[in-house]
Chains A and B, each alone.
Chain A
């Protein structure tokens, strides 16, 4: 069973870049079975999909965030990462890493990390 664990700074200054890493256990990021995803949830609000990445480097991003998002995969460390640039207070949220099957449709998120709160504040 795949297990995911987010890590990274809990506090980021406005205009800086938010960087998070998700460590995968019980599975391999180099497997073609899954896309590796990021989802966020502002405090007290709903879920927003940020984007995902396949082991090949193929990505899908939310158009609302696309200009600021970069995702990557590190096969040697079995990790994948998120960078979100030029953050503002509106980017304060719990950030989750998650997986969905590598299919053309029916991409449901079956494994999730526990989530990490990132606060944007000076």
Chain B
């Protein structure tokens, strides 16, 4: 199985800040990395797939990069609605595996 790690596990930020979350895979997954946003009591929402492809309707302040084993989600100019938990997921092979999540909360 491909193990996924994320850092940091939590980050405190203010509206307008830039936030960067890192995801690392235990083996090469090419560009097959997905990012989700989850708010309390809600299902995860797809943000980015194939490491950098923004899902339709997702604001352009979200961006993803990386390949191989190291990936990054960047949120530029954090908005109030962006406070949530973010998960990465490898989409290269079965079983599908998720990172443990990064909680972005208000400083």
User: Which residues of the partner chain A approach B36 to less than 8 Å between Cβ atoms?
Assistant: 109
Q: Is B65 an interface residue (CB 8 A)?
A: no
A106 within 8 A of B: yes
Contact with B along A39-56 (1 / 0, CB 8 A): 000000011110000000
Instruction: Write the B90-107 contact mask toward A (1 if CB under 8 angstroms, else 0).
Output: 011111111111000000
Query: Is B1 an interface residue when CB atoms closer than 8 A count as contact?
Result: yes
For the complex formed, measure the closest distance between the CB of A97 and the CB atoms of chain B, giving whole angstroms.
10
Chain B interface: which size bin? 20 to 34
Range for the number of chain A residues in contact with chain B: 20 to 34
Which of A8-16, A23-31, A83-91, A111-119 contacts its partner? A111-119
State whether A113 and B44 are in contact (beta carbons under 8 Å apart), knowing that A49-B98, A107-B96 are contacts in the complex.
no
Mark A88-122 against chain B: 1 for CB-CB distance below 8 A, else 0: 00000000101010000111111011110000000
Q: Mark B34-55, 1 if CB is under 8 A from A, else 0.
A: 1010000011111001100001
The docked-state distance in angstroms from the alpha carbon of A114 to that of B43 is 6
Name the distance in Å between B38's Cβ and chain A's nearest Cβ.
Answer: 8
> Does A62 reach chain B (CB closer than 8 Å)?
yes
Partner of B46, one of A61, A64, A105, A108: A108
What's the minimum C-beta distance from B73 to chain A, rounded to whole angstroms?
Answer: 14
Whether A63 lies near B92 (C-beta < 8 A) is no
Closest chain-B Cβ to A115's Cβ sits at a distance in Å of 5
Chain A to chain B contacts (Cβ below 8 Å), 11 pairs: A46-B98, A47-B89, A47-B101, A62-B95, A96-B43, A105-B91, A106-B91, A107-B91, A108-B89, A109-B44, A112-B44
Closest 8 CB pairs of A and B: A112-B43, A108-B49, A49-B96, A47-B98, A108-B34, A62-B95, A60-B94, A107-B91
Q: A46-B100, A96-B44, A105-B93 are in contact. List 6 more A-B contacts (CB 8 A).
A: A47-B89, A47-B98, A49-B96, A62-B95, A105-B92, A109-B36
